[in-house]
Amino acid sequence: MVNFYGTEVASRLLLGTALYPSPAVMAEAVSASGAGIVTVSLRRESAEGRSGQAFWEMIRGLGAQVLPNTAGCHTVREAVTTAQMAREVFGTDWIKLEVIGEDDTLQPDLFGLIEAARILVAEGFKVFPYTTEDLVAAGRLVDAGCEVLMPWGAPIGSGQGLVNPYGLRAMRSHFPDVTLVVDAGIGVPSHAARAMEMGYDAVLLNTAVAKAGDPAAMARAFALAVEAGRVAFEADPMEPRDMAAPSTPVMGKAFLG
């Protein structure tokens, strides 16, 4: 179980709902993943002619907690307004806050992110900020009232995995009591397992499942990887060493003269 703002969720895998070949494939993947939380963009729900209504009804039928996001927002005002609209549409105070500062990498604008987080927390939102592994920004977000931080593993949709493991480990060490979720850049299940082995509380991904040849099978693979990584972390794995150490003791071994 993982705790998000006082809500216990059984699965440590969070799944996005964009980019799938069809809504039916998306629903099959979510079911196979066992994800207890799915992210949804307001833009999908607010499509012209309310065409997003059928999509929203399908999401409700999945039985997962909905985490609306402010994907595509580049300014504080745009992100705050989108969050306010999402609360009305989806009926939840949860919001995955994205304020994009650079188009090529989709890197978060940390200054705008902190400002938007402060505004939304003051309005009663439970903010899940999409951030980097920057420790100073993380501290400011926590001070603003964020109880969850979502550092990227790599740029969104890149599939590069954990490009800065040192930074991610440092964040885990500096914020032991904050719920941390690796978000973005995960490409294969081993990336997710590695994040969990570091002690992260959960992993959020979308493209790696949606763009797989068999999204449902890949979703299941990620669910198993997240579970294995968490069990490994709780088992207190051995530390790496520079020198070899025999697994079979030398003492008692027969020596021929």
Residues with catalytic annotation? 96
Q: Is 157 annotated as a binding residue?
A: yes
Q: Is 208 annotated as a binding residue?
A: no
Q: Is 6 annotated as a binding residue?
A: no
Q: Is 70 annotated as a binding residue?
A: no
Print the SS3 string covering the chain.
CEEECCEEECCCEEEECCCCCCHHHHHHHHHHHCCCEEEEEHHHHCCHHHCHHHHHHHHHHCCCEEEEECCCCCCHHHHHHHHHHHHHHHCCCEEEECCEEECCCCEECHHHHHHHHHHHHHCCCEEEEEECCCHHHHHHHHHHCCCEEEECCCCCCCCCCCCCHHHHHHHHHHCCCCEEEEECCCCCHHHHHHHHHCCCCEEEECHHHHCCCCHHHHHHHHHHHHHHHHHHHHCCCCCCCCCCCCCCCCCCCCCCC
Q: Which residues contact 11 (CB under 8 A, 6 or more apart)?
A: 33, 34, 35, 36, 37, 223, 226
Q: Is 213 annotated as a binding residue?
A: no
User: Which residues make up each annotated binding site for 1-deoxy-D-xylulose 5-phosphate?
Assistant: 157, 184-185, 206-207
